[in-house]
Structure 1
């Protein structure tokens, strides 16, 4: 049997596919290689997976429900890691219909394919953005906290996906697990993320814009820790008809200015900073309580930002030839 990984040319999708292939799984990848950010980076990620005999990459649109259904049915897929989506809070303000198609129609296509094929477990990507803009209280966000006040369309689509999955689990019985990711970073990451774009600008001698005037905090989570959680959940489905949602983060929020200081140290250069107010759709802070995920899988993040950012910088220098 095979595992379908959607968004397999994406940041998280590639790393999850690599881990599954390394342990002997057959993996079918689906990705549309869109131009939201550099398609060459996506092509290079796909090239890392291509040498594996047990891997197949299919180029296609998640919202093409006939394609998704055919892949699940014809490739003998029994588990799905649905990690493909249109990401980015700010871009959802500029191009809202991309989120309607990829996140809503795409999620529905996956749900329909799974229920008709009798898939044993669907694990899908949600987001910490579903919690809205909340101040840090010394306690992480919990899965049963309110999720009724999204501050971006992106967040609204992710919460909608959770509700769709809840309905499908009850209606059709196949187990599902949603993962609320908290600010994932590391090698092969997304260029639209702050740590990546800051690196490019600092190395080019350009100023960086620090939104929220540096007062924001994020639960930066290294990619290897994220993969541990994704694969752990994939291996532990809820009972038939069950739908569970898990936070997956570092559980140790870092201030934006502290992240920049760590990045400057790894790069050996100081950034020229332009302080800006909060942008529409941004949240002040994220902070994951991962108790539920730990109880299920033993999940415990291992890589601090002081270790993870230098790893990213080493990869960035190698890829872009900057010293």
Structure 2
């Protein structure tokens, strides 16, 4: 197939592009390569994709999909069987400091991608949502059938808005869409603003690590390979336009799935795993809960297991040491 991947220089996007190439698809990747975190890391990810098996079927375009003129110009003359829309402005805490960046990338940008899909009619568009939409949901595990009306951050609100816009486009234009609520993705080539990178770096340097809510936190950590499995399976199975209810409650061709490990892990346990992989103890700096954060996440993955056969295989006891090994190599520490 001919697939468009947005956010192709990102953590998940680059991994998805690599997997699609490996199975024989042709991929066009776009990314604006902004400086939210070091551009060099994004360039290194693209270089990795360009050196992967099947790279002769990969093309990369630096473009900002939140600008419709740039999007159309970068992709003029190309047709796609599928779209994997992973580009976004990420980060819960950063959304408090820079709200307009989220309105532009996550609202205007998502609308542009829906319009692009409406005009070019791919077989299916898969897009990234987030477990953040569940806010402080007291019911666990979090189900796609739960109400998500109380986001704790602007980032979460934009992702919920993306789901609502997608429902509208699926209803009006019968455009097959699938939204994926990712749960705390980690692994090699991850983001520098996320806990695994921050904690690993600080532990190796002998610096204190900030542990929020006094350590009373748990996360459904999901290894990157398991995430990619779910994205590709979703891409291959567009929701039917047959009037039946889809995961998330839509009767339009719009499904919503959780992609998680279905196993919330206590933060202090994970810190212990990172300590062991680093070969040294962490200096713990206990702090109160941060604004916009939630104490726990826990994915109910029954829907994606039933419909797509999704089954995560990487426990944190394996995934975090792999990340630490990559981190050391990436920074020349081993």
Give runs of aligned pairs for residues 217-256 of structure 1, distance below 5 A.
Answer: 217-240=218-241, 241-256=252-267
Q: Could you say what secondary structure the match of 2:201 adopts? A: helix
- Take 2:87 and 2:287, find their aligned partners in 1: how far apart are those partners? 31
| Paired residues of 2:63 and 2:74 also in contact (CA < 8 A) | no
In 2 relative to 1, CA 158–117 (structure 1 residues): closer, same or farther, beyond 3 Å? same
- Take 1:195 and 1:312, find their aligned partners in 2: how far apart are those partners? 8
Give runs of aligned pairs for residues 1-323 of structure 1, distance below 5 A.
Answer: 1-51=1-51, 52-71=55-74, 74-135=77-138, 139-240=140-241, 241-323=252-334
Per-residue Cα deviation, 1:56-111 (whole angstroms, up to 9, x for no partner): 11101121113323555522112100000000000000000000010001000100
- Take 2:74 and 2:257, find their aligned partners in 1: how far apart are those partners? 27
Per-residue Cα deviation, 1:116-172 (whole angstroms, up to 9, x for no partner): 11111010000000011134x5x4111010100001000000000000000000111
Instruction: Give the drift of 1:261.
Output: 0.6
Q: Could you say what secondary structure the match of 2:119 adopts? A: helix
Q: Could you say what secondary structure the match of 1:85 adopts? A: coil
- Take 1:70 and 1:82, find their aligned partners in 2: how far apart are those partners? 17
Per-residue Cα deviation, 1:213-258 (whole angstroms, up to 9, x for no partner): 1001100000000000000000000124400100000000001111
Q: Which moved more, 1:143-152 or 1:1-10?
A: 1-10
Instruction: Give the drift of 1:314.
Output: 0.9
- Take 1:67 and 1:3, find their aligned partners in 2: how far apart are those partners? 18
- Take 1:226 and 1:270, find their aligned partners in 2: how far apart are those partners? 30
In 2 relative to 1, CA 182–246 (structure 1 residues): closer, same or farther, beyond 3 Å? same
| Paired residues of 1:225 and 1:301 also in contact (CA < 8 A) | yes
Q: Which moved more, 1:107-116 or 1:74-83?
A: 74-83
RMSD: 1.1
Structure 1 runs (4+) greater than 3 angstroms displaced: 69-73
Q: Could you say what secondary structure the match of 2:191 adopts? A: coil
Instruction: Give the drift of 1:297.
Output: 1.3
Q: Could you say what secondary structure the match of 1:53 adopts? A: helix
| Paired residues of 2:83 and 2:124 also in contact (CA < 8 A) | yes
| Paired residues of 2:183 and 2:297 also in contact (CA < 8 A) | yes
Aligned residues: 321
Which residue of structure 1 aligns with residue 247 of structure 2?
none
Which structure 1 segments of 5+ residues have no match? none
Q: Which moved more, 1:155-164 or 1:235-244?
A: 235-244
Which structure 2 segments of 5+ residues have no match? 242-251
- Take 2:263 and 2:294, find their aligned partners in 1: how far apart are those partners? 16
Instruction: Give the drift of 1:174.
Output: 1.2
Instruction: Give the drift of 1:205.
Output: 1.1
- Take 2:65 and 2:202, find their aligned partners in 1: how far apart are those partners? 33
